[in-house]
Structure 1
Amino acid sequence: MTDQGSYVEPSYERDTRYITTRITADGRDGYPVEPGRYRLVVARACPWANRAIIVRRLLGLEDALSMGICGPVHDKRSWTFDLDPGGVDPVLGIPRIQDAYFKRDPGYPRGITVPAIVDIPTGAVVTNDFPQMTLDLSTEWREHHREGAPDLYPEAWRDEIDEMARVNYTEVNNGVYRCGFAGTQEAYDAAYDRLWRRLDWLEDHLATRRYLVGDHITEADVRLFTTLVRFDPVYHGHFKCNRVKLIELPNLWGYARDLFQTPGFGDTVDFTHIKAHYYVVHRDINPTGVVPAGPDLSGWAAEHGRADLGGSPFGDGTPPGPPREVVPPEHNPVLELLP
């Protein structure tokens, strides 16, 4: 493996300067919604990409928007298509997602990130703006949703969803990274305190309600889930977010299990890829590259009892069918334990 780069900083700040071009129904940015024209590039290891995988599956966009999957381990240059024959994406014909970024901008100066949506005819990245990307899948791609697709971004709840997602992003989704990549004790202590203040708030918030906002799954739940499912395997130890494990927080643990057992969530999770990515790539945190064998994952299949709080996963909608892109059973043995 070539140089994977460094991640620790005196006080970690995420670069959020993304390509903000949007794919919309009216094509106002030059990229209209067209089935078959675009390819969603993801890595199952990445929490930000996992959001897009879940939303695409819940909405039934598989026929309209194809998906390329990068491997879990990358170098400092780019995510790579090492899972595909010959190490080349079969649709885009490239070995690295970096190639699609350089097709858009030969001098692209920022991070080569997933998820990214690529325009297949030109081979150029359209956007890697992951927060807007999933909202657009819910709103701009509505004509191509499956029958029974849930409304993940209902108009009546949008202000509340946006605020919940905003705070959870700064304090939890990015908060775990702020802990893990802190290069000083002071920066780590401050990040740790912020993370746990919000997790304690969420633990209380979920004591009397099944979902974060409203009475069914929304975008806010998708965004929190992808951090929670990585918490015990990675963030608790590798990122030193170790006050307690997720399994020791009754409401958050029940909430996370409820989502995991909902079609479209747990069946997108690849624990093998998740652990390989963090423990192998972040060599300035884990110099040996040794990947831990634990934790025991069987608890994800345990009864959660959250239905007693009311609500239903899909509101007036229906569950998605079986996944098109299947996680290898050995990468997520929990799925074999579910009914």
Structure 2
Amino acid sequence: MPKMLINGILRDKPAQSDGRFHRLPSPFRGWISSDAEANFPAASGRYHLYMSKACPWCHGVDLVLALKGLRDLLSITWMDPVMSEDGWVIDQSSFDETAGVARDRYLYQVYRRAEPAYTGAISVPVLLDKHSGQIISTDSADIMRMLNTAFVDAAIPDLCPTAFAAEIDRLAEIIQAPIRNGVYRVGFATTQEAYDEAIHQLYEGLDIVEAVLNTRRFLAGPMPTEVDLKLFPTLLRFDPVYVTHFKIDRKRIKDYPALSRYLADFAQQPGVAETIDLQHTRAHYFLSHRNINPSGIIPIGPEPGNIVADMTKGAA
């Protein structure tokens, strides 16, 4: 049973009576700014991320760090691939003793330390201010946008250029509910009605994006932008995880010519390959969601050469 904190106490998350998956909104919506007088000014070494290599929301944040060359400015604590009954488990083998954060065992301890009476989800990514101990944000879209704008350098690419901003936001809205969140709405549905509603919306969304990519190399134009960093992690996990694990088996990404070309193209962009760990990702989904996969069997999946090796051939 998924867990959450209620007044700082770890509890089972209440089941939804309508059989639908509902993602809890983030209550932490602070912002790192390039303004030196801001509450959270952009400063190297001040901020810390709690991340999972399996999570598509974290993957988007990691792509920002990779494409903008920001990894040395923030420290990171990574999660173990397999969640426990108490939620996300911190990977002790990769913990950085020099990061300046407590060596916790579970992610919920980070939330409870920052806000002892916290009520809400225990999710990644988490952006923490090491100076104050405050959680700045747990909203991946906010974190991606602030990392793009806070650490300004003319040599670093802008992932949300003004000329494409309106189109980036329009496309982000199109992919968010039906596709990015849609795969979870399908996979965690507990009634046929909820499943049917979500699965049709998912494939309708994929058809829209397929049509967009028939005329463009990337979603908003000729170069990768923020919205590509949001879609790519979901597409990457689709065939090797979601098709089997979440019962999304009408069509695979490889059945969409434009989406397949786009997935391979984006995977070959400099810095992207190093953010991909499909073995870790598959272990997370198939071993963590025992309500969906009670036996914990990891299916054989597509041949690895058809997923990562071919996509990243020639990647920098």
TM-score normalised per structure 1? 0.83
Tell me the residue number matched to 1:257.
264
Give how far 1:51 is off: 0.5
Q: Is the 8 A contact 2:243 2:249 kept in 1?
A: yes
Q: Is the 8 A contact 1:73 1:280 kept in 2?
A: yes
Q: Which amino acid aligns with 2:147?
A: L
Tell me the residue number matched to 1:110.
120
Against the structure 1 CA distance between its residues 214 and 338, is the aligned structure 2 distance closer, same or farther, given a 3 Å change threshold? closer
Tell me the residue number matched to 1:192.
199
Q: Which amino acid aligns with 1:51?
A: G
Which 4+ residue blocks in structure 1 deviate beyond 6 angstroms? none
Structure 2: stretches of 5+ with no match in the other structure:
4-11
State the SS of the aligned residue for 2:72. Answer: coil
Q: Which amino acid aligns with 1:47?
A: P
Tell me the residue number matched to 1:132.
142
Selected match of 1:296 from 303, 309, 314: 303
Tell me the residue number matched to 1:322.
none
Structure 1: stretches of 5+ with no match in the other structure:
304-333
Q: Determine whether 1:68 maps to 2:77.
A: yes
Residues 25-75 of structure 1: CA deviation (Å, up to 9, x unaligned) = 226762211111111221100000001111011111122112221111122
Match runs of 1:138-217 below 5 Å: 138-143=148-153, 148-217=155-224
Q: Is the 8 A contact 2:168 2:226 kept in 1?
A: yes
Residues of 2 paired with 1:296 and 1:337: CA distance? 19
Selected match of 2:247 from 217, 240, 245: 240
State the SS of the aligned residue for 1:41. Answer: strand
Against the structure 1 CA distance between its residues 35 and 181, is the aligned structure 2 distance closer, same or farther, given a 3 Å change threshold? same
Q: Is the 8 A contact 1:4 1:74 kept in 2?
A: no
Residues of 1 paired with 2:127 and 2:80: CA distance? 17
Q: Determine whether 1:18 maps to 2:21.
A: no
Give how far 1:88 is off: 7.6
Against the structure 1 CA distance between its residues 88 and 56, is the aligned structure 2 distance closer, same or farther, given a 3 Å change threshold? closer
Most deviating of 226-235 and 92-101? 92-101
Match runs of 1:302-317 below 5 Å: none
Q: Which amino acid aligns with 1:52?
A: V
Selected match of 1:82 from 91, 94, 100: 91
Selected match of 1:42 from 27, 48, 51: 51
Count of equivalent residues: 303
Against the structure 1 CA distance between its residues 30 and 222, is the aligned structure 2 distance closer, same or farther, given a 3 Å change threshold? same
Residues of 2 paired with 1:99 and 1:215: CA distance? 43
Residues of 1 paired with 2:239 and 2:251: CA distance? 9
State the SS of the aligned residue for 1:35. Answer: coil
Give how far 1:114 is off: 0.9
Selected match of 2:103 from 82, 94, 118: 94
Against the structure 1 CA distance between its residues 337 and 276, is the aligned structure 2 distance closer, same or farther, given a 3 Å change threshold? farther
Give how far 1:80 is off: 2.3
Residues of 2 paired with 1:107 and 1:44: CA distance? 28
Residues of 2 paired with 1:274 and 1:129: CA distance? 21
Residues of 2 paired with 1:75 and 1:216: CA distance? 40
Q: Is the 8 A contact 1:38 1:66 kept in 2?
A: yes
Tell me the residue number matched to 1:329.
none
Identity %: 36
Residues of 2 paired with 1:148 and 1:251: CA distance? 31
C-alpha RMSD over aligned residues: 2.3
